[in-house]
Amino acid sequence: MYLTADYHTHTNYGHGAGRIKDNIRQAIQFDLDELAITEHGPASHSLTRLGVKDSLQLLEIKEEIAEYNRYFDGLNLLAGVEANVINLEGRLDVPEVILNELDIVLAGLHLWIKPDSWQAGRRIIFDNTIGYRLGLIPRGKVRQNNTQALVNAVKRYDIDIITHPGYQLDINTYRLATVCRREDTCLEINNSHQQLSADFIDTAASTGVEFAVNSDAHTAGGVGRVDSALELINEAELDLDQVINVT
């Protein structure tokens, strides 16, 4: 089993450590066919400085990637984003005109973001951390809200991959996977956030959804490293026909 592409990597444009060319060097060592650079969207910037400072910076990254693409024959570089879902209606923190310019769109539900309203902040940040612990909202309702936010995003935008589904935020896997299958969106098996279980993969796979295995590397040395994710695939006996970047 080996990886043909890494569709989720960070650089020093966000909170990663390496430069784009460092990630490229590592991808070449791993003999990958494709590498995507996918910084967090701007809603990860104001609170935690994890993402690009504004959406236009994604186009700067795209320009830099276009330069490198001229030099590297065997490796196709993709300009992308890991956009944030910023309300329960599934809105992303990157305008659609910019998403349309990118080669690949990843989206995830993250806790530490700037939500688009007080109400969205309550549902995404407060309910998932303090709200249910204090008994202010039942856990099942929080799971339902998280799932709805992701489902709405998948329906609303042309998203290629949902990153680390269920990481830090409880979701209904079957429901999300069903919609992803219908909308042609992959679910990620993320090597950095190893919260997934074989059960998760079983449940999602039963819908026929496709998976992408990614490093979510934040250093160049992490690019292409997906050993734990591959072990999980083995354990779950996932059919490799359902994985877009492993052969």
Interacting positions 204-223 with Zn ion (CB under 5 A): 216
Q: How far is the CB of 14 from Zn ion (least distance, A)?
A: 8
By the rule CB under 5 A, 188 interacts with Zn ion: no
Q: How far is the CB of 192 from Zn ion (least distance, A)?
A: 7
Q: How many residues bind Zn ion (CB under 5 A)?
A: 4
Q: What is the DSSP annotation of 197-238?
A: -HHHHHHHHTTT--EEEE--BSSGGGTT--HHHHHHHHHHT-
By the rule CB under 5 A, 108 interacts with Zn ion: yes
Place of tokens 């292409």: 224
Q: Which segments of the chain does DSSP mark as H helices, in order?
A: 20-29, 56-71, 96-99, 118-121, 139-156, 173-183, 198-205, 227-236
Q: How far is the CB of 225 from Zn ion (least distance, A)?
A: 14
Q: Applying CB under 5 A, which part among 52-60, 71-79, 83-91, 159-167 lies near Zn ion?
A: 159-167
Q: How far is the CB of 28 from Zn ion (least distance, A)?
A: 21
Nearer to Zn ion, 36 or 137 (CB): 36
Nearer to Zn ion, 50 or 151 (CB): 50
Q: Applying CB under 5 A, which part among 24-32, 100-108, 154-162, 226-234 lies near Zn ion?
A: 100-108
Whole-angstrom distance, CA of residue 119 vs CA of residue 239: 41
Backbone angles phi, psi at 235, to 5 degrees: -60, -40
**Chain positions contacting Zn ion, by CB under 5 A:** 82, 108, 163, 216
